[in-house]
Amino acid sequence: MKTFDEKINMLFYYWLQLSFILVFGIVVVGGLTRLTNSGLSITEWELFTGILPPLNNDSWNNYFALYKNIPQYNLINNNMTLDQFKIIFYWEYAHRILARFIGLFFLLPLIYFYFIKKINKKYLFICYLILTLIGIQGTVGWYMVKSGLVNNVTVSHFRLSLHLSLAFLIISLIFWNLLNIRKKLFKPFLLNNKNNYIFLILILLIFFQIVFGAFVSGLDAGLIYQTWPMMDQTYFPNDIEIKKFTNFFDFNSHGLVQFYHRNIAYLILCYIFFIGFFIYKNKINRLVKPFNIVSFFLLFQILLGILTLISGLNIYLASAHQIFSFLLVLSVINLYYNYIN
């Protein structure tokens, strides 16, 4: 029969698992909110209001009237009906409600685990960091939405990338904590060991790919050059004129951003072959299975990226592409975790 301490620790582990599922879920919903251009349908933050959706016609008309004041409606959706507005409204509403639920779901049990003093303090410290990031994420979400309410028909791709990067960081921290708890260990993520750099470089490359993926999404850069392997008839986009070195850092350029996103994927693929060579040459048998999982997710992610592009940005393929980016990140973290001592 399990002791009280064992039951509490098991409850803590299950709570983190549910938190992981919820965060993964909100990423999926957030991606679909972006893909359906629904993120600007609610034009106010409504931190303490807006828990219930509109319940009568007056309320719906009020929300619709606010939406009619922003550039997205006036320049793109000026023929939208109220029924069509309700569709994009509910995507953003679901995203916000789920975010609130995650905040409370993480906060309240964490208070309980803090006061009961039965959980390893190192595990709790990671949870405090996660809770802080969840709070920051809510603020960043509104900061992102604000960028599309005045002069633009969509949100800033820079702010979108920040919002997405924070989501990746939150789910990665939860996953790392789960790995530690399952192994009954505490491996810090950053260890000052030169042997770890080979895997940390891979994580850094994938982080850059996530950023450029958000740039592509935020700029709708996938709407141009919908061919592969060439960008139309050339390797480098032919709509870009490079006159000085700083032109290479024009992250507002649709073609250039898509070019970087493509080529970082190729670089990651080459680097994975290098890591595979390193693992098999040094006969690190414990990494063979985690490496094979990473390889599968990477190859499938590249295939999804290509199919998404040449399909004209099919929403189902685009959503799957984002989902598999998370699975790829988690598989790489698992590979790194199994490597470090």
The conformational region for residue 339 under phi > 0 = left, psi -120 to 50 = alpha, else beta, is: alpha
Based on the fold, state whether residues 143 and 216 are members of the same structural domain: no
Q: Which domain holds residue 109?
A: 1-186
Based on the fold, state whether residues 21 and 158 are members of the same structural domain: yes
Out of 125, 155, 186, a domain closes at 186
Domain count across the chain = 2
Based on the fold, state whether residues 65 and 141 are members of the same structural domain: yes
Q: How far apart are CA 84 and CA 68, in angstroms?
A: 13
Out of 186, 214, 233, a domain closes at 186
Based on the fold, state whether residues 297 and 210 are members of the same structural domain: yes
Based on the fold, state whether residues 173 and 273 are members of the same structural domain: no
Based on the fold, state whether residues 143 and 22 are members of the same structural domain: yes
Residue pLDDT, tens place only, 98-148: 999 999 999 999 999 999 988 889 999 999 999 999 999 999 998 999 998
Q: What is the mean pLDDT of residues 215-240?
A: 89
Which neighbouring-strand residues pair with 234?
231
Based on the fold, state whether residues 96 and 79 are members of the same structural domain: yes
Based on the fold, state whether residues 26 and 133 are members of the same structural domain: yes
Average pLDDT, the chain: 91
The pLDDT-based confidence of 1 (bands split at 50, 70, 90) is low
Based on the fold, state whether residues 140 and 288 are members of the same structural domain: no
Cis, bond preceding 109 (omega within 30 deg of 0): no
Query: What is the per-residue pLDDT for 4?
Result: 77
Based on the fold, state whether residues 15 and 112 are members of the same structural domain: yes
Based on the fold, state whether residues 150 and 222 are members of the same structural domain: no
Based on the fold, state whether residues 167 and 233 are members of the same structural domain: no
Give the CB-side neighbour count of residue 242, counting CA atoms within 13 A: 10
Is the pLDDT reported for residue 76 higher than 80?
yes
Out of 155, 186, 217, a domain closes at 186
Question: Mean pLDDT lowest for which of 50-64, 183-197, 312-326?
Answer: 183-197
